[in-house]
Amino acid sequence: MKWRYLVYGLIIGLLPLIVVVLLSNSHPSLSRLEATSFSDSTSVWQRNVTSITLPTEAYLFGKKIPLEVWDIRERFERELYYNCVNADQIALWYKRLKRWEPMIDSSLDANKLDRDLKYLMVAESGVRNVESIAKANGYWQFIAPTAERWGLRVDNMIDERLDPIKATGAAMRYLSKLRAQFNDYFLAAAAYNMSEDNVAAVLNYQHQSSYWNIYVNEETMRYVLRIAVIKEILEHGSHYGFRFETLTPYQPWNVRYVTVNGPIESIADWAVANDCTYKDVKIYNPWLIARSIPQGMFTIALPATDAARTTLNKGN
């Protein structure tokens, strides 16, 4: 009889372990979650914020962020925690930015602007054409009046905010103006977020000259530190458990350009006549927001090689 009780006791004792094994086999994501959350290896993309160590120093626009001020340090920490746990988002930022970074860096250099301003664009849009609830659009998130002010066309057929190259040119002109007006990149970035008139009014009312000393709306209070944290993560990813070297960056578009005279009634018909597809035209020219092209002369990007096409077998 004793051996029977011993067997029963052994079964009861092992039952919790058997349940855990069965659950982990039926839910493979459980074991992956445990490996990600509790591994001490910095080679694993950490999702546990308690594993994140705040840097002792951080720089943006060639200047040191004053992390010694408790308020600024806590705001920086908030952005760091918020962004580091979104590993999938950061991976996509990295991959998308590599496609456009050469063009953006070249534009910044040509306009004698700090290269860190590319991280402003990442903060604005995540390096994608997205429309905000305030109707800002494109990589650089222009509202229509500001876009038109800096030379972009916005109407019901053409929206050049969605053209990464033209929108970058407009952003360079606007940022150059802001940099000259405030003689300070931090204030220029704040003005990009809340307008130059509002920043000038805040500086005047609060009797201040530094971004770090002003009190404004929460979005703008977070904005510059968000840019700084994006730079910190993308430039020092290994410190936070990110292995960017294992990622395959998105490559710059391989396109050729053709000039067309509008109007063109059907983009789809024109595309097929030019040995490509409607999808090719729309992806490489997202600024063409209608199904037709209006009157005027336009430069259209088309895939330069078969490998650059967005469709299989030339659209078949």
Output the six-digit token pair for 195.
């307008």
Q: What is the mean pLDDT of residues 135-141?
A: 98
Q: What is the mean pLDDT of residues 16-45?
A: 40
- Which fold, 59-246? Lysozyme (1.10.530)
Q: What sign for the dihedral angle of Cα 116, 106, 130, 91?
A: negative
Sequence-distant (≥ 6) Cβ neighbours of residue 260 within 8 angstroms: 270, 293, 297, 298, 299, 300
Q: Using 50, 70 and 90 to split pLDDT, how confident is the model at 42?
A: very low
C-alpha span between 281 and 301 (Å, rounded): 7
Q: Using 50, 70 and 90 to split pLDDT, how confident is the model at 23?
A: very low
Are the CB atoms for 309 and 276 separated by under 8 Å? yes
Residues 181-234 pLDDT 10s: 999 999 999 999 999 999 999 999 999 999 999 999 999 999 999 999 999 999
Q: Which of 262, 265, 246 is nearest to 300 (CA)?
A: 262
Q: What is the mean pLDDT of residues 68-87?
A: 95
Q: For residue 2, is pLDDT > 80?
A: no
C-alpha span between 78 and 86 (Å, rounded): 13
What Rg do the C-alpha atoms of the chain give, in angstroms? 26
Pairing state of beta strands 63-64 and 59-60?
Answer: antiparallel
- pLDDT given for residue 85 in this prediction: 87
Q: What is the mean pLDDT of residues 99-115?
A: 98
Q: What is the mean pLDDT of residues 49-75?
A: 93
- pLDDT given for residue 313 in this prediction: 72
Domain ranges of the chain: 59-246, 255-315
Q: Using 50, 70 and 90 to split pLDDT, how confident is the model at 4?
A: low
Output the six-digit token pair for 96.
């998308």
